[in-house]
Structure 1
Amino acid sequence: MASTTAAGTAFAISATTPASQDAAGYGALTFVEIGQVEKLGTIGAAFAKVEFQPLKGPKQKQKGSADFGSLQPSMAFDADDAGQSLLRAAADDGSSKLYSFRVTFPTGAIRYFLGRVFGAPENVDGADSIIMSMPTVEINSRVVPIDAGGGTGPSIPANALFLNNDSLTLGGDVLTLGA
């Protein structure tokens, strides 16, 4: 896949959650595009690193809990924009309600996820600046990637080879190593 710019990326919100957290579930929702977005931020999970150092032997490292991340988009404040209005309403909602979000890249690829809006402060920087809105969207689910052709991202070939400590997997066959 060739690289692309972010120009043309769209950010949208829905006040409902999907029946299933997959392409079909999210695709059945009605989204409202959020206008005047300048920047979105980083989308995707990061895992906590869990370490154990025995007195004898190498340090062991494992994946810990997942943090699905947060977005802190910046946008020119627009009181008449329906998407921004819904985003502000989500920020003002005192409950723990989840909202659905969609990011559409210029290539047509889509990223869906659930999140909570933790605020939407306005930034007035100076006389020669645009009044900005700076919400914080905490992502609370895995990000569902949909490629430009409608598929769910890269697939693993049937003959893929995996090595995991004491086993080797080739396609669906698992071979135990050692002993």
Structure 2
Amino acid sequence: MAGTAAGTTLAISAALPASQNVAGYAALSFTEINGLDKIGTFGSTPSKVTFTPLKGATQKHKGSVDYGALGPTMAHDEDDAGQALLRTAADDQLGEYSFRVAYPDGAKRYFQGKVFGYQEAVEGAENMLMGSTTIEINTPIVPAPAA
């Protein structure tokens, strides 16, 4: 059933699952990132590999997979534990973190990724102080259906 994104959450964990499945991720302790106004689009996309022979049509093949990236934006909050962990992950050059997107109907999406930077935006007196980051996804998305 179709619905709105209102109520969707994003959470982060510094731990990695023992197994790349719903049970492995569900065993982790996640910290919700509050103040989000957007999470972004994600999902796997294979690269396109082409070969054009001297005789014949161009051949198209699926190449390596890119699992995508999230570009969440949020009202910057120094006291939010989820945002603090997100900023820690942004400063961690090598660290891989686990993430959970939870939809309003209870369905979840789990994955691992690296956080590339955390920027603060000061746009004007009539705007919120905002934070934004990029989370590059490095593993397949593990879907967990609504209970």
TM over 0.5: same fold? yes
The 5 A counterparts of 1:11-26 are 11-26=10-25
> What corresponds to 1:58 in structure 2?
57
Q: What residue ranges of structure 1 are gaps of 5+ in the alignment?
A: 150-179
Q: Distance in 2 between matches of 1:125 and 1:139?
A: 29
1:126 Cα deviation from its structure 2 partner: 0.7
Consecutive unaligned residues in structure 2, runs of 5 or more? none
Residue in structure 1 matched with residue 121 of structure 2 by the alignment = 123
Superimposed CA distance per residue, residues 20-59 of structure 1 (whole angstroms, 9 cap, x where no aligned partner)? 1100100100000000000011111111100011122221
Q: Which has the higher strand share?
A: 2
What is the 5 A alignment of 1:21-170?
21-94=20-93, 96-149=94-147
- Higher RCO by CA contacts (8 Å cutoff, separation 6 or greater): 2
**Identical aligned residues as a percent:** 56
- Distance of 2:42 and 2:69 partners within structure 1: 7
User: Structure 2-normalised TM-score?
Assistant: 0.97
Quick one: distance in 2 between partners of 1:9 and 1:90? 21
| Alignment root-mean-square deviation, CA | 0.8
Amino acid at match of 1:124: V
Provide the C-alpha distance between the structure 1 equivalents of 2:84 and 2:140, rounded to a whole number of angstroms.
25
Helix, strand or coil at the partner of 2:133: coil
Structure 1 letter corresponding to 2:44:
A
What stretches of structure 1 move > 6 A for 4+ residues in a row? none
Provide the C-alpha distance between the structure 1 equivalents of 2:80 and 2:39, rounded to a whole number of angstroms.
Answer: 17
C-alpha separation in 2, matches of 1:67 and 1:124: 32
Q: TM-score, normalised by structure 1?
A: 0.80
